[in-house]
Amino acid sequence: MDGHHLTKQYRFKDFRQALDFTNRVGELAEEVGIGDDLTFEGPVAIAESIAPKRAFVSRPTYPLYAIAGVVEGAVLASTPEEADLVWVCNPNNPTGAIMASPQRKALLDVVEDAGSWLLADEVYQGAEREGPETKSLWGSYERTLITNGLSKAYGLPGLRIGWAVAPPKLIEELMSYHDYLTLTPTMLSDRLARFVLEKRKRQEVLGRTRSILRKNYPAIRDWIEDHGSLFAHVPPAAGAICYIRYAMKMNSTELVERLRKEKSTLLVPGDMFGMDGYVRIGIGPPTDYLLAGLDRFDVLLRELKAGRAR
C-alpha cells in the first residue's frame, strides 16, 4: 500500500464513505485519512503537522498526547486559553466521562476565540453504557482534527485500522507520513473494516459492546461497594474501563506491579495519567474472566493488609 498514492489518488474511497457519520460523503472523501491504529507515532505525526508552540492536554487522559507535543517542541500550557493546540479525549480515557453540552460549548468558545487547533480523540465513541452515541466534535469548528479507530468501541484491535478526519490540506500532509508509520494494515483489513462500518453492521457491533458493558459494570460496581471505604469511583458513562480511587498509602505503579508479578493480573496505574492513588480496570472481557481477575486482586489486598510480601 503506497502512501503517495493514498494521498494523491485517495484510494479506499469506499472506506471513507463508510465513515459518513456526518452525512457528507462527498466532502469526507478528501477529509479522511486511513492508516494503522497507531499509538505513539500517530500523535507525534499530528503534532509535527500542526507544529504548535503551546499545547494544552485535558487531563486525565492518554499520556502520549503530552509526550507527542513535547517531542515536537511545544510547551505544555496550563490552560486551554494559552494554547494553540487543545487536545481532548471524548469519551474520556481513563474516566469514561462524556463531555456535557455546556462543557462542549465552553471548549468550542475557547478554541474559536484563540484560533487554536482542536484535536479530539473519539476512539470510545459508540461504547456508551447508557444513552445516545456521543456526538462527534467534527463539524463544530473548522480547525478541528478527529481521530478514531476500531480498537476500542468496536473491539477489533487486530484489524489495525484507524482514521483521522480533518481539513483536506492537513489530511494530505498527514498522509505523507503514511509510508513511514503504517506497516501492518492489509487490503483484507480494509475490506473487513468497511464491512463493520456499514450502517446496520456498525450498530450491531456497537450493540454487542454496549451489552457487554451493561453486564459487566454491575459486577465491578458490586465488587467496589463490597470493599466499603477502600474504593470509590464515578460510574463510567462510556468505554470498557472503570477508574477507581483507592484508600491505601501505596503508589499506584507499585501496587499494579505487585499485582502483575505476584498474581499475573494487569491493571493500569493512575500515576500514568498523572493521578496517583487510582487504578484503571478494564471491564470488557467475559464476566467470569473479569471476576477471576478481581478475585486475584482481592488476594493481594488481603496480603497487603496482613503485611505479607514476596
Whole-model pTM: value is 0.87
User: Hey, what CATH topology would domain 204-306 get?
Assistant: Aspartate Aminotransferase, domain 1 (3.90.1150)
Name the amino acid, one letter, at 242. Answer: C
Give domain limits for the chain: 3-197, 204-306
Q: Point out the least confidently predicted range of 89-93, 187-191, 237-241.
A: 187-191
| Four-way CATH pick for 3-197: 3.40.50.80, 3.40.640.10, 3.20.20.70, 3.40.50.1820 | 3.40.640.10
Average pLDDT over residues 222-245: 98
Q: Which element (helix H / strand E) includes 201? A: helix 199-226
Inter-residue contact 135 to 143 (CB < 8 Å) = no
Residue 22 confidence (pLDDT) above 50: no
Provide, rounded to the nearest whole percent, the portion of the chain with pLDDT above 90.
64
Whether the predicted pLDDT of 81 surpasses 50: yes
Mean pLDDT over 219-236 rounds to 98
Q: What pLDDT does residue 8 have? A: 33
What are φ and ψ of residue 120, in 5° steps?
Answer: -120, 120
**Residue 239 confidence (pLDDT):** 97
CA distance 296 to 308: 15
pLDDT in tens, 131-146: 999 999 999 999 999 9
> What 8-state DSSP symbol labels residue 124?
T
